[in-house]
Amino acid sequence: MATKRFAIRILLLVLIATGLACTVYSNLRLAGLREVHDDLRMRVGIFEGADPAKVRVVRAGVPEDLIASGINDSMVWRYRISLPAKYHMCSENHEGLVKGDAPGGVSSYSRNWVGPNSEPSEIMFSVSFIKDNGQWTLSVIHSGGSSGFHVPQDFPISSPDKLVIDEVVDFGVTRSFDPDEAICLLRIREKDEALNRDGTKKQGLYRGFGFYIFEDKNKEAFSAWTNGKISSMQEMKK
């Protein structure tokens, strides 16, 4: 009888030890999977949620092979964007004097389009400041085309503490927008307002850059907002 009790105790101890070992193994495996997931979220950009009727934006890392060899320095914002079906994306990039909370200002701009697809689709949108031979240049690339700007020699792009950098989203976060919204993916501007030749401030205008996307059918509303005729795109829909 004692031998039987001893055998039962040994069996229970073995079962407990096995259970603990399985728990430890499962926790280690889960931790490994979480690490892989976090790494993918940072490098590739993983959408949280799945509403195909929304425009969704995540920030993705930059593969090393996308940075050309010989570049002295670079600052890159790379976004993965999910577009609803039949969404005709228009992008507009501003360079010069920009507003702090809206598109437009006194600036040059370029506009590109991504044709609509019958099904939801995805694009990559990158904004790259690249320093080569002491000169900073700006490159904007996405599925609808590319554009480039000259960065003024005295613009402090290499000193983020002197700038206001408004990003639509940081790594590992998904933001969703209604298709009728204009989305400011990135705005980089100086902290202080630009100056006139006589030293007075240009009210509400800053030296910098802005990068927007919106649905092509809303381009008139976006232009009116850019030109200060309305205070938001929603005013055109009332």
More confident: 90 or 173: 90
How many other CB atoms are there within 10 angstroms of residue 212's CB atom?
24
| Non-local CB neighbours of 51 within 8 Å, separated by 6+ positions | 176
Residue 16: band (very low, low, confident or very high) from pLDDT cuts 50, 70, 90: low
Domain range list for the chain = 1-43, 55-237
How many other CB atoms are there within 10 angstroms of residue 63's CB atom?
10
CA–CA separation, 139 and 189 (whole Å): 16
pLDDT of residue 237: 65
Overall average pLDDT of the 215-230 stretch: 92
Q: Above 80 in pLDDT, residue 131?
A: yes
- In what helix (H) or strand (E) does residue 88 lie, and over which residues does it extend? none
Nearest to 205 by CA among 218, 216, 191, 219: 191
Residue 60: band (very low, low, confident or very high) from pLDDT cuts 50, 70, 90: confident
pLDDT of residue 234: 79
- Give residue-wise pLDDT tens across range 174-191: 899 999 999 999 999 999
CA–CA separation, 94 and 104 (whole Å): 7
pLDDT of residue 73: 83
pTM value?
Answer: 0.78
* Mean pLDDT rounded to a whole number for the chain: 81
Highest mean pLDDT among 22-36, 44-58, 59-73, 131-145: 131-145
Residue 173: band (very low, low, confident or very high) from pLDDT cuts 50, 70, 90: confident
CA–CA separation, 206 and 191 (whole Å): 8
Does residue 100 sit in helix, strand or coil? coil
Decide: 99 and 190 in contact? Cβ < 8 Å: no
Minimum mean pLDDT range among 13-27, 164-178, 202-216: 13-27
Q: What percentage of residues in the chain have a pLDDT greater than 90?
A: 48
